[in-house]
Structure 1
Amino acid sequence: MTDIHPDQRVAVLADSQNLYHSAQSVYSRNIDYSALLDKAVQDRRLVRAIAYVIRAESPEEERFFEALYDIGFETKIKDIKTFPDGTKKADWDVGMSLDAVTLASHVDVVVLCTGDGDFSRLCSHLRHEGVRVEAMSFESSTSEDLLESVDSFIDLGAREDTFLL
């Protein structure tokens, strides 16, 4: 696999739910999405940046969605589902994977901003297709399977002052 160089076309896919819960549980802080996007792109050519978010009807979420847009992220929003037993579920694993596979022929690098091990199979597929796969998340809450399946990993927890608000 190639290293980073300025001609690479990059797609950044951010699993906002995963990042939020990791940042909150470990640091009780929020992600600095501007710093996240800057580091993910690293002076390469950004093709698309997508943040996958969940609408949970909290008062500040519309401001958050607008802030993501202002930073440069396209937002894909899914409503949280509440089941009859009261449990709630909302995740973007399938949507992120489909977007990554669709974008693979248009980019050289996919940066997955998540620690979710469910994406390890996607990473193997993308790498088989000749796409460099990078991940960014908090190593303390990142799946070993994901770490083993990417070309490079950036631990957001190693640079709290950069990546946390």
Structure 2
Amino acid sequence: MYRNGGFRMRYDVLRDFACRDGAEPARLNAYVSFDADRARADPVYQKSTQRFYSLLRDFGYKVMIKEVRWYEDENGKRYGKANADLDLSVDMLLQSENLDRVLLVTGDGDFTRVVSAVQNRGCRVEVVALDNASADLRRESDLFVSGYLIPDLVPAFSNGGPAGDEEPWGEIGSIVRGTCYFHKQNYGFMRFLRIPGPKLWLTDTQNPDSPYETAYFNDSSLPDSVDPLNLPSYNHIFQFELVESRHPTGKFEARNIQFLSWVPT
């Protein structure tokens, strides 16, 4: 997860999302790697990783540290491995026995079978992932959410760097992320999650209980890399700025639209 966008993730927001319907977490496991060899040679790495682990603990996570082990291939090239997949799978099976729901934060398709096994025990499994998510894992989960669509989970960026100060997510002037659910001729509408709640399935924004909002856009605001003929699409995730709408339908308009990520079907 760290290599696929997770290094920017806010773990306090992740915890809030997991508990969005008033649930109390029985356990928050964070599986991390630690390179002892590098730590001995690099005080900055040692200090930054320990600070990161302490931050996770402050948010209530149990930090499961997997030490990097170093090997040499047949050409004498040194490489490190710190795979926590087995640990995570065993923990899921053992700890899900008395749970109603498990939130798994990964896009790794290797977990598809363990997700199925946990579901067969009567437990709902939700998956949050960023880039390179497995299509099999998405289909197997009871709910799949791209982490980019969760408000403030991953900071907004512009041209590869942080977007800087902006209005709170969902307000005029803020930068949000969403998908195009309607397109016709030279315009369409984006849908974005305003406030995470228990009714994520309620996508009709005309329903007052829906946690979603919509934003009108004109094709001229789309990036050159996006063909309007491929819209609407739930696979394309866009980042865009919210401005006051000039369109009679709705209060938001999407400007400065960027293509951000692709979610497999």
Name the TM-score, length of structure 2 as normaliser: 0.51
2:63 aligns with: 75
1:49 matches 2:28: yes
Structure 1 alignment gaps of length 5 or more: 1-17
CA–CA separation in structure 2 for the residues paired with 1:88 and 1:35: 31
- 2:31 paired with 1:66: no
Looking at secondary structure, tell me which structure has more strand per residue. Answer: 2
Runs (4+) of structure 1 moved beyond 2 Å?
Answer: 56-59
Q: Alpha-carbon deviation of 1:84?
A: 2.1
Instruction: Tell me if 1:107 matches 2:95.
Output: no
Instruction: State the one-letter code of the partner of 2:147.
Output: L
Match of 1:38 among 2, 6, 16: 16
Taking only aligned residues, the RMSD between alpha carbons, in angstroms, comes to 1.4
How many aligned positions are there? Answer: 141
Post-superposition CA distance 1:34-66 (Å, at most 9, x none): 001110121212111010000123231000000
Q: Find the residue that maps to 1:46 and give its secondary structure.
A: coil
* Counterpart in the other structure of 1:8: none
Amino acid in structure 2 at the alignment position of 1:34: D
3-state secondary structure, aligned to 1:63: helix
Question: Offset at 1:83?
Answer: 0.3
> What residue identity is the alignment partner of 2:5?
A
Out of 99, 117, 125, which is 1:125 matched to?
Answer: 117
Q: Does 1:21 align with 2:3?
A: yes
Higher RCO (CA 8 Å, separation ≥ 6 residues): 1
Q: Distance in 1 between matches of 2:69 and 2:108?
A: 20
Cα distance in 2, alignment partners of residues 31 and 76 from structure 1: 18
Give the counterpart of 1:148 among 120, 129, 139: 139
> What are the Cα deviations for residues 63-105 of structure 1, in whole angstroms up to 9, with x where unaligned?
0000000011000101111102312111111000100000121
* Aligned-pair CA distance for 1:158: 2.4
Letter in 1 for 2:101: V
Percent of residue pairs identical: 30
Question: What CA distance in whole angstroms lies between the structure 1 residues aligned with 2:119 and 2:149?
Answer: 26
Secondary structure class of the residue paired with 1:105: coil
Provide structure 2 residue ranges, at least 5 long, that are not aligned to the other structure.
40-44, 156-265
Counterpart residue type for residue 162 of structure 1: D
3-state SS of paired residue (2:83): coil
**For 1:33 and 1:22, how far apart are their aligned partners in 2?**
15
Name the residue aligned to 1:13. none
Distance (whole Å) between structure 2 residues aligned to residue 40 and residue 117 of structure 1: 21
Q: Which has the larger radius of gyration?
A: 2
Q: How far, CA to CA, are the matches of 2:123 and 2:23 in structure 1?
A: 15
| Amino acid corresponding to residue 39 of structure 1 in structure 2 | F
